[in-house]
Amino acid sequence: MYLEEFFGVPISDDVAAPPPARPRRGGTVRSGAAEHARLVVLAGDQLGRRFLVQNKETIGRSDEATIVFDDTELSRHHARIRRDPQGDYVLEDLDSSNGTLLNGVPVTRSVLAYGDKIQLGGNIVLVFSRYDLVEEQLLQRRRVELFGRLGAGVAHDLNNMLTVIASAVHGIRACDKDGDPEMVDWLDDLESATARATALSPRLLRCVQSRSRGERGDVDLSNLCDEVCELVRHALDCSINIERDIQPSLMVAGQADELHQGLMNLCLNARDAMPQGGTLRMTAGLASGQRIAELPLSSKGAVIEVSVSDTGMGMDGETRALVFEPFFTTKRESGGLGLGLSTLKETVANHGGCLTLQSEPGQGSTFSVCFPAARPLGHAVSTRATVDGAAARKPVPAGLTVLVVDAEPIVRRSWCRLLNRCGYVAVAADNAQTALEHCSSGPSAPALVVVDLDLPPVQDVALHRQLRELHPEMQVLLTSPQADAQRRADVMADGAQGLLAKPVSPQNFIAEVERLLSLADPPKSE
């Protein structure tokens, strides 16, 4: 059942024994000139891979074939599938050395029907099936959603471990009273590596998370471009340099994940266009009045333009004319479906913008996306918690109790050690129910509770809400890998006093603890 759902056609469990041949049904394939078919690999090299079949595909071992298998039993040009004027797909053996079988019967030429199995030589078995764009999009969406759930879980665990590592480095440095130079160097390197991993973690999470997909709002395109450049840097080898010129505080109205994915796609396409190396350059800024007049935009206001350029092979006029068409691709050998740029064009149009291309053979390519600027310009959305000046704070009494609520034991231990070293009395709880019991039954409530925002709720009510109802004077500090400006605003409106993005450095953690404890008197005893 799983294979049937995955491949979209009924598939026998026994791929080595195809069903007997059946009469050709040419009419079962034809349903319009725009329809395409696909081949799915059932056995042999590249198991599970799918190839789009359009008008003519050559299958073989040669690099000149459009569908290439690394199998010594295949001839260099083993077989061909072409579409005849009547709309039928026709399989032809190209005088191969090991023959072509259709449903177990040797053939030299035969009309294909959906569900047919094609065996090339002794190892390669393919199934011929209909390509349904809607079905393919649904399948891809399910994969993305699954990848998102898995990736978000991995990112959450990674953030917790980075938080622990940062706290451990801080603690070891404080314990090293002698200041051993070699130990200092080791700690400096460990701290630097942790900082780099900490900066990369939220960018990875942004690629896989789907919680905010579909939500629209103001997007800081400057920050988005910087994130894309940093992330794509890890996908480039040393032969490709990356340059950027990004003006700050460029705001557009739109969906951040869609824009992020589109810009990533442009950068990866630029990389693929430079197999011998070169320069990838991203620029972002306000378009000039002359440039705006050249664009097919209805907006008469300010326009933001983001360009991705490469110094690669470039494109001729025929390729430029087709590059935004669905299913057109110059990367057939890598299994490209030709949907990336057409999808990007649709995404840009849905954001009220336009997508342009400049390219000449041997002179590289420049893709430019233009969007109406959001109002007001020049005001970036801050994603950091506001920290009051030290002069405005009240002194924090020693010995205040801080309750740490986190499902990860190593995080609880790390933060409790850090709090105890700073003179607080740290108490830990591993779930919301235990935290509520501690706050309800003790002689006095904690002055501050640090809560993992992603803890399972108790009776469908988030822990921080219940704590505020139980002790309105209590300070609540939330932590989460997802701490964007919108989520911060939501939790602050919901009664929390702060939100820290995991992973968090020990310095920022203690600074935020001190800030919150200085804002209000400790809670009274019950």
SS3 519: coil
Please provide the DSSP assignment of 112-150 as one string: --TT-EEEETTTEEEEEEEE-HHHHHHHHHHHHHHHHHH
Q: How far apart are CA 242 and CA 21, in angstroms?
A: 55
Q: What is the pLDDT of residue 179?
A: 67
| Distance of alpha carbon 256 from alpha carbon 223, whole angstroms | 11
Q: In what order do the strands lie in the sheet with 354-359?
A: 240-246, 278-286, 303-310, 365-372, 354-359
Please tell me the predicted confidence (pLDDT) of residue 13: 33
The residue among 274, 284, 366, 271 whose CA lies nearest residue 320 is 366
- Percent of the chain, pLDDT > 70? 74
pLDDT of 297 higher than 60: yes
Q: Is the pLDDT of residue 401 over 80?
A: yes
Residues 415 and 406: beta-carbon distance below 8 Å: yes
Residue 141 confidence (pLDDT) above 90: no
| Mean pLDDT of the region 183-200 | 74
pLDDT at 6: 34
From the list 144, 143, 115, 142, the residue with the least C-alpha distance to 128 is: 115
- Judged against a pLDDT cut of 80, whether residue 324 lies above it is answered with no
pLDDT tens-digit readout, 217-228: 788 999 899 988
Rg (CA), the chain: 30
Average pLDDT (134-151) is: 63
Residue 409: cis peptide before it, omega within 30 degrees of 0: no
What are the CA-CA distances from residue 499 to residues 319, 461, 463 (Å)?
49, 18, 14
* Contact status, residue 131 vs residue 37, Cβ threshold 8 Å: yes
Q: How confident is the model at residue 200 (pLDDT cuts 50, 70, 90)?
A: low
Residue 423 corresponds to which tokens in the numbers above? 């003179």
Ranking 58-62, 105-109, 322-326, 351-355 by mean pLDDT, the lowest is: 322-326
Mean pLDDT of the 124-136 span: 79
Round to whole Å and give the CA distance between 399 and 427: 12
- Looking at residue 48, its pLDDT comes to 82
Residue 315 in this model has a pLDDT that exceeds 70:
yes
Instruction: Round to the nearest angstrom and report the end-to-end CA distance of the chain.
Output: 60
Long-range contacts of 328-337 (CB under 8 A, 24+ apart): 331/272, 332/66, 332/67, 333/63, 333/68, 335/49, 335/50, 335/51, 337/52, 337/136
Helix axes 133-175, 181-208, angle to 10 degrees: 160
| Integer angstrom CA distances of residue 72 from 81, 122, 198, 447 | 21, 10, 47, 72
pLDDT in tens, 220-268: 999 899 988 888 887 787 889 999 999 998 999 888 878 888 898 899 8
Give the separation between CA 227 and CA 239, rounded to whole angstroms: 21
Gap between the Cα atoms of 381 and 235, Å rounded: 28
pTM value surpassing 0.75: no
H-helix or E-strand spanning residue 464? helix 463-470
DSSP letter for each residue of 57-82: EEEESSTTSSEE---TTS-TT-EEEE
List the single range of 267-276, 284-293, 440-449 with lowest mean pLDDT: 440-449
How high is the mean pLDDT of the chain?
Answer: 78
Residue 469 CA to residue 523 CA, distance in Å, equals 13
Please report the pLDDT score of residue 338 as a whole number.
Answer: 54
- The average pLDDT across 357-374 equals 91
The two structure tokens encoding residue 149 = 């759930």
Q: Which residues on adjacent β-strands are paired with residue 351?
A: none
- 3-class DSSP assignment, residue 176: coil
Yes or no: say if 297 and 309 are a contact pair by the CB < 8 Å rule. Answer: no
pLDDT at 215: 54
Phi-psi region of 484 (alpha: psi -120 to 50; beta: other; left: phi over 0): beta
pLDDT classification of 119: cutoffs 50, 70, 90: very high
Residue-wise pLDDT tens digits, 472-492: 888 889 988 777 677 777 778
Rounded to 10 degrees, what is the CA torsion of 211, 213, 214, 215? 60
